[in-house]
Structure 1
Amino acid sequence: MNTDQFLVKSALKNIDRASFTWQTPSNIALVKYWGKSNPQIPKNASISFTLNNCHTITTIDFVKKEKSNEAVFNLFFEGKEKAEFKPKIAEFFKRVQQYCPYILEYKMTINSENSFPHSSGIASSASGLSAIAMCLMSLEKELNADLSAKNSNKKASFLARLGSGSASRSIEGPLVVWGKHAEIEGSSDLFGVQFPYKVHSIFENYQDVILLVDKGEKQVSSTVGHNLMHEHPFAENRFIQANENLAKMSKILQEGNAKDFINLVESEALTLHAMMLTSNPYFILMKPNTLEIINKIWEYRQENESSICFTLDAGANVHVLFPEKEKENVGQIIESQLSKYCDKNQYICDTVGFGAKMF
């Protein structure tokens, strides 16, 4: 794997201070990755819809200082200093400093906020780390005017991956593949790439309503869950299955087979949670209301010949996926029947988006 392409090789300009603000989205995987090796290399390829409304907005102020051996930064989340978030960000900066050595010459003040509840299974680390990566690349662009937008996004995905694997899929959209796969042109374990083939019109502007079953902190972090795959008895078969499913999903997305899409997406969601149920130690992130919602979705789909389906991330919340043409009808059933299973009846209406935006 060629990581040398991400090293800084040009002479950099001298800039005393700078400030950049980026909005980067969360994403929802259709084919999941669960299990990785160092440094943040996935055991199987994955593909996700980039979301639009679930996002993180991050501003980083850079002020020149004497060069040191480690990154210096303050971190504020939604207006409050968050000491508990700092270790993960500090580790991220350690991992990226060989590719972004200029960060050692600046004091950074990071201000970040989410449009959705943190650590509730909406991939907050994906949007959070990708936003920081985009701010770093904005600084690098100022320091090195020869850096192209294409290479900047590629490196941002590479950097984001070093903080959170799924963050590599939050730079661009609407569909992003992360992980080397023989049938996906340009795919890589090092960064995410836009799905390279023409997608059937049925999947354009696809809808995702996130039912907030549980907005609290997850009982088991994704990092711990990934590590449990190292000794998992079903791990190797799962990695093979996921890569086979990605090949199937590629065909489905191009041909527009809604029934096959539903079957594969729901199977992937349940398989992800089956890996949690069968790890050692085992754990359950779904809640009783998660199962209630799933059963209601199945009932509605059968009774109405709908293309509605669900997927789950590493949490209790349910992502309800459906074509745009069903937006009104599905919206009614969510409000009248499904919202009662949500924490304080709360849900987020989202749609497929196109990646990071600079402010």
Structure 2
Amino acid sequence: MISEQDFIASNYSSIETATFECSAPSNIALVKYWGKKENQIPANPSISFTLNNCKTITKVNFTKKESKDNFSFDLLFEGKSKDDFKPKIQKFFERIEVYCPYLKEYHIVIDTENTFPHSSGIASSASGMAALAMNVMCLEKEINSNLSEDLFYKKASFLARLGSGSACRSIKGEVVAWGKNKTIKESSDLFGVEFNDIHQNFKNYQDTILLVDKGEKQVSSTVGHDLMFGHPYAEKRFEQAHDNLAKITKNLTEGNVEEFIKIVESEALTLHAMMMTSMPYFILMKPNTLEIINRIWKFRSENNIPVCFTLDAGANVHVLYPENVSVKVLQFIQDELVDFCQNGQYICDQIGNGAESK
């Protein structure tokens, strides 16, 4: 069983300079995690589809410096200095210092960009932190030739988690679970684990993201997670997540799309129910979110087409469906749902294979 101690780098060498480029996708949780303990440990397990097109591409240059007293880094977003992102990166480096002590030996230049618009309302913290963690691990591999491929990816997921919890699910694909549970062998609170026993029905599954509201959320996910402490329904919710993870992995293995749909939609609504019943309570869905949900239900019922929705901690709607019904679903989106998107915008995506280094 891997412990945190296994991720502490030792017996590494030093190099004068190195540049790496890595990409990492966003992901969409099917079973949601909401509520976390100290050190980014989830209060309940989750499982997600790794996406393909919505990703962050990050190039990092490491140059040896004289002083090892502090972290030294510059941050560019789409080629321009982005100082308001720096506190989050500083906090990330501080969290991972014990596991990557070599980082203080270098001045670090981070140049990052997203394949989706930054203001699109799609959370970029998962893909961004996963891409940065991959670059850190590329450096570690360069200065420690004994690093195995398995440990490389586990530690990348472990580090990503310390930047943004769900980022640990963006390192691998196509389906990744995070959080200790009885269902998935070798599952862990420390990093994401691939779930590979997937039926053909779920191969190349599609996710069309309807951009209902591209504005900043009035309540951040960090605050929302904290509100699960003392939540009247927290313990029952955590039990439900364990049960639903067991059920949905069975559906993914057996190819049962109908039962998969029930759990995915229930999980999405449960997530928002937790927000609406916390204290203070809040609502992140918008009227157009509800209109889209109702139209998806009507379309599915009338046409017997296996399309469903899920939500993240926001107003946008992820429309999930098998590839073999893509033409009909995309026509439905064009005909009935685009009007409920801000500026008519949506993004077509599908299951992907996780982070890559170039």
Q: Give the structure-1-normalised TM-score.
A: 0.97
Q: Distance in 2 between matches of 1:181 and 1:33?
A: 13
Question: Equivalent residue for 2:4?
Answer: 3
Tell me by how many angstroms 1:309 deviates.
0.0
In the TM superposition, what are the counterparts of 1:346-357 in structure 2 within 5 Å? 346-357=345-356
| Mapped partners of 1:267, 1:195: distance in 2 | 21
| Paired residue secondary structure (1:26) | strand
The answer to whether the 8 Å contact 2:121/2:211 transfers is: no
Q: In the aligned structure 2, how far is the partner of 1:221 from the partner of 1:121? A: 12
Instruction: For 2:164 and 2:92, locate their aligned partners in 1 and report how far apart those are by CA, in whole Å.
Output: 9
Q: What is the CA–CA distance in structure 1 between the aligned matches of 2:354 and 2:53, rounded to whole Å?
A: 11
Q: Which consecutive residues of structure 1, in runs of 5 or more, have no partner in the other structure? A: none
Partner of 1:48: 48
Separation of aligned partners in 2, 1:150 and 1:164: 21
Q: Distance in 1 between matches of 2:263 and 2:119?
A: 26
SS of structure 1 residue aligned to 2:55: strand
Structure 1 stretch displaced more, 334-343 or 167-176 = 334-343
Identity, % of aligned pairs?
A: 62
Contact kept? 1:170, 1:355, Cα under 8 Å: yes
Q: CA deviation at 1:32?
A: 0.2
Residues 1:250 and 2:249 are matched in the alignment = yes
| Structure 1 residues 197-230: Cα deviation after superposition (integer angstroms, max 9, x where no partner) | x211100000000001111212111111101111
Equivalent runs, 1:169-318 vs 2, <5 Å: 169-196=169-196, 198-318=197-317
- 1:343 aligns with 342
Which residue pairs with 2:152 in the alignment?
Answer: 152
CA distance in 2, matches of 1:168, 1:120: 22
Change (3 A) 1:244 1:355: same
Residues 86 and 288 of structure 1, relative CA distance in 2, 3 Å threshold: same
Alignment correspondent of 2:127: 127
Query: Aligned AA for 1:328?
Result: V
- Aligned to 1:229, the other structure's residue is in SS state coil
CA deviation after TM superposition for structure 1 residue 317, in Å: 0.5
Change beyond 3 A, Cα 1:118–1:89: same
RMSD, aligned α-carbons: 1.2
Answer whether contact 1:119 1:218 (CA < 8 A) is retained: no
Q: Does structure 2 conserve the Cα–Cα contact (< 8 Å) formed by 1:129 and 1:163?
A: yes
* 3-state SS in 2 of match to 1:314: coil
- Give the number of equivalent residue pairs: 357
Q: CA deviation at 1:13?
A: 2.3
| Structure 1 runs (4+) greater than 4 angstroms displaced | none
Whichever residue aligns with residue 162 of structure 1, its letter is L
Structure 2: how far apart are the matches of 1:344 and 1:171?
32
Secondary structure of 2:70's counterpart equals coil
Contact 2:210 2:316 in 1 (8 A): yes
Inter-partner Cα distance in structure 2 for 1:278 and 1:68: 48
Residues 293 and 341, structure 1, Cα contact 8 Å, conserved in 2: yes
CA–CA distance in structure 2, aligned partners of residues 187 and 342 of structure 1: 37
Distance 1:239 1:118 in 2: 32
Code of the residue aligned with 2:275 in structure 1: it is M
| Change beyond 3 A, Cα 1:236–1:70 | farther
Distance 1:78 1:218, change over 3 A: farther
How many Å apart are 1:120 and its aligned residue?
5.5
Contact kept, 8 Å, 2:202 with 2:255, in 1: the verdict is yes
Residue type of the alignment partner of 1:266: E
Aligned residues of 1:156 and 1:171 also touching (Cα < 8 A):
yes
For normalisation by structure 2, the TM-score amounts to: 0.97
Question: Secondary structure at the residue paired with 1:151?
Answer: helix
Instruction: State the 1:291 CA deviation.
Output: 0.7
Give how far 1:352 is off: 0.1
Deviation at 1:121, TM superposition (A): 5.0
Distance 1:299 1:31 in 2: 24
